Structure 1
């Protein structure tokens, strides 16, 4: 049963629809996620396959893969994150606008995978907060699509109006 969708939560009176602002904002956000692929290893091939015609990530409103952090709101980290690359991943994450989400795709991005060395970070969640993990080595495109649907569910349950009404923090300069 879908209870947070605008069409199911709304009350129609004539030509006016009454609903919660959270429902409308979250419905828009979850159906227009613009992912930024961070293809660091072999998982990137499976990420590319999810955008192909066979799996078609565009069915979920996510076909606009942006390679600029300022134009995307979801980072898909696909592959092995080394310590050298970790600061780049963090810098790109910081450049993304709010709200932003992160998907760790594959065993290497989630836990370091089979690499237990001084150069490989044991999970990208040591650098950026991860919202959804995709297991597998490499994970199939269906697994990524499932993770993106879970991310849509998470976005649909957020409290967005409260976040919109926050005032910017004062810098102390008048």
Structure 2
């Protein structure tokens, strides 16, 4: 049975970024922006996460980690790529060790561009992710009832 609850849990992972996007993601959790008012709860455990927020590009060292985190997450799940690096590989995509954005190893549902992505953009992406998660959860529950 699909787990359906009112507060989707969010897991943030920094792939190989310059930390600019990570600082902005952290800013989203402060009282100034307060992303939790939109119903998300931060978690550090992929087995409890519903939304996977990833920053930074994918390289040979983090590729298996990103795949493992994604595979450990229960269905339904939503992936949000935050920042130009997570979306496309960014300014580092021509480097020998960068494979590209997050979508080179896992399916990405929502892209939040920017270098660094602004907190308002990140929050907009998270709000879209929450709505998409609820859609996926309802569809999964309906398919299990059928």
Instruction: Please indicate the TM-score interval, normalised by the length of the shorter structure.
Output: 0.7 to 0.9
Q: Distance in 2 between matches of 1:150 and 1:156?
A: 10
| Structure 1 segments of 4+ aligned residues over 6 angstroms from their partners | none
Question: Quick check: 1:162 aligned with 2:142?
Answer: yes
Q: Distance in 2 between matches of 1:90 and 1:163?
A: 26
Cα offset, 1:92, TM superposition: 1.0
Encode CA deviations 1:39-98: one digit per residue, 9 max, x unaligned.
232111111110111000111111x21111111111100123212201110011101111
Aligned match of 2:7? 32
Q: Distance in 2 between matches of 1:149 and 1:32?
A: 12
Aligned match of 1:88? 65
How many residues of Structure 1 are paired with residues of Structure 2 in the alignment? 139
Structure number, greater radius of gyration:
1
- Compared CA separation, residues 155 and 107, structure 1 to 2 (3 A): same
Cα offset, 1:156, TM superposition: 4.1
Q: Which has the higher contact order (CA 8 A, sep 6+)?
A: 2
Instruction: Tell me which of 53, 65, 71 is aligned to 2:48.
Output: 71
Instruction: Tell me which of 86, 95, 117 is aligned to 1:109.
Output: 86
Question: Quick check: 1:140 aligned with 2:118?
Answer: yes
Cα offset, 1:162, TM superposition: 3.2
Gaps of 5+ in 2: none
Q: Distance in 2 between matches of 1:150 and 1:86?
A: 25
Aligned match of 1:98? 75
More deviation in 76-85 or 96-105? 76-85
Q: Distance in 2 between matches of 1:66 and 1:56?
A: 15
Gaps of 5+ in 1: 1-24, 167-174
Q: Distance in 2 between matches of 1:44 and 1:52?
A: 13
